Amino acid sequence: MKKFVLIFTILFLSFCASAQKFTDLAKTPPMGWNSWNKYHCDVSETLIMQMADAMVSSGMKDAGYEYVVIDDCWQVSRDEDGNIVVDPERFPHGMKYLADYIHSKGLKFGIYSSAGTVTCQRRPGGRGHEYQDALMYAKWGVDYLKYDWCGSSTQNAPASYTTMRDALYAAGIPIVFSICEWGSNEPWEWGSNIGHLWRTTGDISDNWNSMISIFERQKDLSRYAGPGGWNDPDMLEVGNGGMTNEEYKTHFSLWCMLASPLMAGNDLANMTPEIKAILTNKELIAVNQDTLGIQATCYRDNGDYQIWVKGLSNNEKAICLLNKSDEKKSVLVDFALLAQIRTMTRRFRPPAGTTGFGGFGVPGATAGGGAPGAAAGVARTGAPGAPATAAPAGSGQPAGAGIPAPQRARRATPLTIDNYRVRDLWEHKDLTLKETSMYVDLDPHSVKVYRFIRK
Question: Which residues form the catalytic set?
Answer: 148, 203
- Residues in contact with 351: Cβ distance below 8 Å, sequence separation at least 6, in sequence order: 406
**Of these, 72, 206, 232, 301, which contacts ligand GLA (CB under 6 A)?**
72
**Of these, 111, 180, 339, 442, which contacts ligand GLA (CB under 6 A)?**
180
- Residues in contact with 109: Cβ distance below 8 Å, sequence separation at least 6, in sequence order: 67, 68, 69, 98, 99, 102, 103, 140, 141, 142, 143, 144
What is the distance, to the nearest Å, from the Cα of residue 97 to the centroid of all Cα atoms in its chain?
30
Decide whether 107 or 120 has the Cβ nearer to ligand GLA: 120
**Of these, 53, 203, 246, 304, which contacts ligand GLA (CB under 6 A)?**
203
Closest distance of CB 250 from ligand GLA, Å: 21
Judged by CB under 6 A, which stretch of 99-107, 119-127, 187-195, 318-326 contacts ligand GLA?
119-127
- Residues in contact with 112: Cβ distance below 8 Å, sequence separation at least 6, in sequence order: 69, 70, 71, 72, 74, 119, 145, 146, 147, 148
Q: Which of residues 292-321 bind ligand GLA (CB under 6 A)?
A: none
- Scored b (16 or more CB within 10 A) or e, 403-435 reads beeebeebbbebbebebbebbebbeeeebeeee
- 26 lies in the site for ligand GLA, by CB under 6 A: no
Q: Which of residues 157-176 bind ligand GLA (CB under 6 A)?
A: none
Q: Using CA of residue 223, residue 227, residue 228, residue 231, what is the dihedral sign?
A: positive
Decide whether 119 or 152 has the Cβ nearer to ligand GLA: 119
- Scored b (16 or more CB within 10 A) or e, 76-114 reads eeeeeeeebebbeebbeeebeebbebbeeeebbbbbbbb
- 36 lies in the site for ligand GLA, by CB under 6 A: yes
Decide whether 32 or 385 has the Cβ nearer to ligand GLA: 32
Closest to 206 measured CA to CA, from 235, 227, 226, 228: 235
Judged by CB under 6 A, which stretch of 113-121, 136-144, 210-218, 401-409 contacts ligand GLA?
113-121
Decide whether 151 or 400 has the Cβ nearer to ligand GLA: 151
Compute the distance between CA of residue 261 and CA of residue 288 in angstroms, rounded to an integer: 8
**Of these, 31, 54, 120, 271, which contacts ligand GLA (CB under 6 A)?**
120
**Of these, 117, 121, 419, 437, which contacts ligand GLA (CB under 6 A)?**
121
DSSP SS3 for 272 = coil
Compute the distance between CA of residue 10 and CA of residue 307 in angstroms, rounded to an integer: 53
Closest distance of CB 214 from ligand GLA, Å: 12
Closest distance of CB 131 from ligand GLA, Å: 23
Decide whether 54 or 120 has the Cβ nearer to ligand GLA: 120
- Are 241 and 206 in contact, with CB atoms under 8 Å apart? yes
Decide whether 118 or 386 has the Cβ nearer to ligand GLA: 118
Judged by CB under 6 A, which stretch of 118-126, 171-179, 251-259, 402-410 contacts ligand GLA?
118-126
Compute the distance between CA of residue 177 and CA of residue 336 in angstroms, rounded to an integer: 42
- 415 lies in the site for ligand GLA, by CB under 6 A: no
Compute the distance between CA of residue 386 and CA of residue 352 in angstroms, rounded to an integer: 26
How many residues touch ligand GLA under the rule CB under 6 A: the total is 10
**Of these, 45, 66, 71, 143, which contacts ligand GLA (CB under 6 A)?**
71
Closest distance of CB 204 from ligand GLA, Å: 8
What residues make contact with ligand GLA under the rule CB under 6 A?
36, 71-72, 119-121, 148, 180, 182, 203
